[in-house]
Structure 1
Amino acid sequence: MQWNRSLCEEPDVGGWNSLHFAALLGLKEVVSDMLGWKKSLAYLPAGSENDRTTAINIAAGAGKVDVLHELLNHCPDCWEMLDSNGRNALHEAILYSQENVVSYLLKSRKWDKLIEDPDNDGNTPLHLLASSNFWGYVPLELKDHPRAKKMSYNKENKTPFDVAMLNQMDQQKIIFNQAKERDINIKGILSAAQMQLVVATLLVTVTFAACFTLPRGFESDVNSPNKGMAVLIKKASFRAFIITDAIAFACSTGAIFNYFYMATNPRPMSYPDLDYLWSLSKVGARSQLVAMSAVVNAFVTGMYATLAHLLGLAVTVCAIGCISFIMYVWAVLSQNAGYV
């Protein structure tokens, strides 16, 4: 800046110069040096003709009180500058919920006029305050200021009180709609869980029964040392059948316990509970997916153990049993590709 100060005045493609960026970033010393060299920099607009702002509005919106102090110290009348929407620094501070800037601007009576100035839509800072969620954080100096025109009308013929009431009604409407949407989502999740519970119960029944109706049955020879044991116990395919059947049973019962807990959970249903229910539902669904996959594997390995002496038939039956996997993968891929 020392070797080519004229660069401070050069705007970029967006119409902002060095002072505007320094104000945005809160670079107090840089702003002070620039204004010490040339005070007129504070009066140069930023942005385009239809979206114009000022250095003081930029600092106010960014909450940079130190920069505001430097701007007003070097250029005491720059507080009167407006952006393309007719908004002053106090408008901007309220618009971006900058409590520290509001407090600073209200400390001096020199800037009292900021409180009553309307923008292009006729909204005073009090109108903007009423339409925001910033009301509880703004100092009482603004709400109770003698120059705060509480009965001033904007171009929609509304006072700050009217705007505040409409904003409150809008907030209540949003809360009501969110609660309604939450209830619909909860009902949908619980309804889906009921249907999945039926499937999980059937899987438990089937896998439990399969443990006592093993392929080829049990050894019945009274003279055999393996009496009462499974006939095919030494075959790897049969052992795979037993393991996959156990996996299916465990995952199915896990899903049932999961859905049972969802149905009996006494907590009030809020948004965190909705996320919690959705997580439980996903855990149950994934458990069922593992269980169904294990059932298919149990069928394939059980049939192979039974038909191992007829290799062609065994392979054919196993291939047919795996069709369900192919159908599931096709459905998932089609949905991801947008075909379903």
Structure 2
Amino acid sequence: MLRMANNEHDTALHEAVQYHHPEVVKWLIEEDPEFTYGANFSGGTPLYMAAERGFRDLVKIIIENTNRDRLAHTGPMGRTALHAAVICRDPSRHILFLNLPYFLCGLFINITVMVKEILRWKSDLRKEVDENGWSPLHCAAYLGYVPIARQLLHKSDNSVVYLRVKNYDNKTALHIAATRGNKLIAKLLMSRYPDCCEQVDVNGNNVVHLFMMQRRCFRSFIKIPWMNVRALINEKNVEGQTPLHLLAHSQLRCRSFILKKEVDKMALNNQKLNCFGRNFTGRGFIWKKGKHDFIISTLKRAKARVGPLFWQKAMRKDKDKKNEDKKDEDMSQSKRSKGLDTSFLREAGQSHLIVAALVATVSFAAGFTLPGGYKDGDGMAILSNNPAFKAFVVSDSLALVLSVTAVLFSFYTALAKTKKRVNLFVRPAYWLTKLGVGAMVVAFFTGLYTVLPHHSGIAISTFIICICCSVFSIISGSVPQRWITKCTKFRSR
């Protein structure tokens, strides 16, 4: 009856642990102490469930009243009850993130007692890793649980410290603590096992690299004797970066580290740059503002010098700057060719103004110099009833009106300040000028036709010439620019 399970593979003991009933848990275990309670459908055993929920009393009851050889401790994702105890959702777990000193570990009594009970029952669990390769010590280093880390390291061999997480860049517990900025965990690990500082992750970063990459530099951390070894503070990762390179790149204000005599200021990375060369901007020799000024002044004080290939990179940047300037000029030329440049449009407007003013002047003069002359009596035009004369008067008036309007638009173009308004005036001025020139040609032809014999050869020749010129002017203004370019290239061949 006690061993029966529901659809979720939960026994009565699973249910009692889940809802935190200590008396029921103790009674169920005493009734059948030899039975091994396996995992439920979610993968949790009773001991794991109690540790995961932070039930310190239930963990103690299960361990003390169950046959220790038959007690299951596994959970989901390959975790053990010790994993669950370290990362359990304890009500005071938010305080653990503050990395408080060890003398305040009484605040974490639930977790520390659980860890102590589990380690007393089975100390080998500290070496067990989950499916992702994380041991309980890795979890404590990640979360910054100093008291729990002390318990895990107590009476433990050094194999736990050197376990690596393969899916986390092959990091050890010290690397994880440095990555998270948990300096107390890092100091604890290095004080117990000084040689763990020599370990590097898959990218060749040691503990000093990782602290610099997280933009964390602690003076007390640098004062640790094992951190002052030249081989450690000058070690290069796979990219050839030393901790000083990373410090300069991340803009850390750590004067004490830069001024240390053991730090090699002239170390070169794989790009043949030292820490001093990394602080130049992309344009010439202008220093970046803010924190870089502090780092550069400190590097100068430490007698750091520019790397050997900096001048070559500076010349290359100057060349790139020239290429950028040329590219900008080409782009400006392209804009002018597309009519997008304001200065080009203004220059075109000046040309339109000159042509429109000339057409207006000629049309105005032609209006008072009528073909055929005036009558002596009333001063009226002699040929006022002639249809060709009427066409002359209309076309000349149209030419005058269109050209004067084009002059006004060109005048407004000079006053426009935005590209949109310049386009608004330049394009109509162009078409008005073009139409005014056409009207002037028609006025010229009709004026000659009025005073010439209609069926004479000279009248017909004048008509043909004017028509051809008008058609040519219309076609030349309508042909796309790309056709003209292609014809020019074809002739040049």
TM-score normalised by the shorter chain: which range applies? Answer: 0.3 to 0.5
Which protein has greater RCO, CA pairs closer than 8 Å, 6+ apart? Answer: 1
With the length of structure 2 as denominator, give the TM-score of the two structures: 0.32
Q: Greater Rg, structure 1 or structure 2?
A: 2
With the length of structure 1 as denominator, give the TM-score of the two structures: 0.45
